[in-house]
Amino acid sequence: MEQERECAPRRAARTGGREARRAARAAPLAEEIRPIRPGLPGGQYRPLSDADMARIHAAALDALEQIGLANAPASGVEILTGAGAVRGDDGRIRFPRALVEDMLAVAARDITLHGRDPKYDLHLSGTRVHFGTAGAAVHVVDAITGEYRDSTAQDLFDAARIVQHLDNVHFFQRVMVARDIADPLEMDLNTIYASCAGTLKHVGTSFSDPANVGPCMDLIHEIAGGEAAWRARPFVSNSNCFVVPPMKFAEESCVAMEHCIRAGMPVLLLSAGQAGATAPAPIALAIVQAVAECLAGVVYVNAIRPGHPAVFGTWPFVSDLRTGAMSGGSAEQALLTAGCAQMHHFYGLPGGAASGITDSKLPDMQAGWEQGITNVLAGLAGLNMAYETVGMHASLLGFCMESLILGDDILGQVLRCVRGIEVNAETTSLEVMKEVCLGGPGHYLGADQTLRLMQTEYVYPSLGNRMSPKEWVEAERPQLIARARARKEDILARAQIQIDPAVDAAIRARFNIHFH
């Protein structure tokens, strides 16, 4: 009995020390020692050789000189011809090589897309990788029942609130259309406000009508605390489909882009042809067309305001050539995106493209492999802005909240791949091997090095299950979708609106806001 009393404090001390170590390991890590974080450098994967990239560049310049782009708005004709482009008798705008090269020389590089909180700023330089959302889904899918329904402004707000709590989703661009709002201006206003009210991360939006840019800028100025504050840190970018492939300008979108540039809003120059349909079937030639169209956008933007922040948004998609339907989760899509990332680096421009789309209708095994393959290749290729990476189903027609949360786990593993293997004096030292093998325990489980690296070298899934079958049965067979739903409900129960209450009240008094 006396011996037990003597041992008890020692057991408590050992237990207390172990619990203290566990608590220390569970505590959030400082940003600089986290194993994964926004802006990790990629670029390890290069499907295109230097000669390939030079050939694609030359072909894109030829396309701009020989084919040009049709359907420029009157304002665009004036801007582009004033800069040195040529309008032919057929109405097409053609771009001399020297003009393209001159505009590339003044185009913005190493830009920052701001969050409303500076800790969410995205620094787009070199091969730094960021993952986020995008898309214009018209349905929300219930992950358990499989039912599809129209998406609403409330859904958009909820998705933004969830993204605010996901470490591996670095920005929030509109993921769905608020189909409960018929008026186009009210839809644009609610899209911006639902996004900004849900998250402090950088937000992307788009405009259905150029006339809507002015009122939306009034809303953004109220959120920012005035126009000067907005221009100092623009936290919303315009995702602009300024072209309708193949090789035509989208007139209304071009005019909207002009308004956004003058309002100080960064733009995403988005070319979204579909290989085999609105883009050529060869993967290389689909990249050529996307590059040519985006180079035309570079000329357009810099003719208005040299050095204005713009993302080179080559987004070619893939067709399933058996049916003509889009195939966003295919290996060909992964290759297209990686090749486009290389072309962004070729020009030294900040770039964006699509990855993470799944053709599956639900968050199932197909969705997992499609999101994993396309996102990991995008990351390894060093894509600055990977859009549509989580939550998007049915080839962009559907959005799933549970899939958004599961996608955060996928992106965690993707980012670990992007970080790669660190080879240095410490990681190749034989000292720990000597300690273990020469008279030691014969394993590394308790080694100081193992304990020190378990958080800074390794990434663990939040929801992914690594239990043994026995442990899984004892835990009553937890299911992935059910756990994702529980986390979704927990986030939405505690997520706060990211707008000052007085500002929120003033905005709701002035604009017709459709979510709570």
Instruction: Give Cβ neighbours of residue 77 (< 8 Å, ≥ 6 apart).
Output: 87, 93
Q: Mean of the pLDDT values across residues 79-108?
A: 98
In whole angstroms, what is the distance from residue 342 CA to residue 381 CA?
A: 7
Q: Residue 455: in which H helix or E strand, if any?
A: none
Q: What is the pLDDT of residues 157-177, one digit of tens each?
A: 999 999 999 999 999 999 999
308: Cα separation from own chain's centroid: 21
Q: Mean of the pLDDT values across residues 330-354?
A: 97
Q: Are 228 and 236 in contact (CB under 8 A)?
A: no
In whole angstroms, what is the distance from residue 217 CA to residue 264 CA?
A: 10
Q: What is the pLDDT of residues 120-169, one digit of tens each?
A: 999 999 999 999 999 999 999 999 999 999 999 999 999 999 999 999 99
pLDDT tops 90 at residue 490: yes
Q: Residue 33: what pLDDT? A: 81
In whole angstroms, what is the distance from residue 195 CA to residue 162 CA?
A: 11
Q: Which amino acid is at 474?
A: E
Q: Are 263 and 231 in contact (CB under 8 A)?
A: no
Both tokens assigned to 35: 């194993």
Mean of pLDDT over the chain: 94
Q: What is the pLDDT of residues 345-383, one digit of tens each?
A: 999 999 999 999 999 999 999 999 999 999 999 999 999
Provide the phi-psi class of 286: left if phi over 0, else alpha when psi is between -120 and 50, else beta: alpha
Q: Residue 220: in which H helix or E strand, if any?
A: helix 213-224
Q: Catalogue all structural domains in the chain, each as residue range(s) with its CATH number.
A: 102-419 (3.20.20.480)
Q: Tokens 């569970």 correspond to what residue?
A: 26
Q: Residue 2: what pLDDT? A: 45
In whole angstroms, what is the distance from residue 458 CA to residue 354 CA?
A: 27
Q: Are 384 and 130 in contact (CB under 8 A)?
A: yes
Question: Is residue 5 very low, low, confident or very high in pLDDT (cuts 50, 70, 90)?
Answer: very low
In whole angstroms, what is the distance from residue 9 CA to residue 512 CA?
A: 65
Q: Are 140 and 155 in contact (CB under 8 A)?
A: yes
Q: Mean of the pLDDT values across residues 51-66?
A: 98
Both tokens assigned to 47: 């499907």
Higher model confidence: residue 19 or residue 401? 401
Q: What is the pLDDT of residues 449-478, one digit of tens each?
A: 999 899 899 999 999 999 999 999 999 999
Higher model confidence: residue 225 or residue 31? 225
Q: What is the pLDDT of residues 7-31, one digit of tens each?
A: 444 444 444 555 655 555 556 677 7
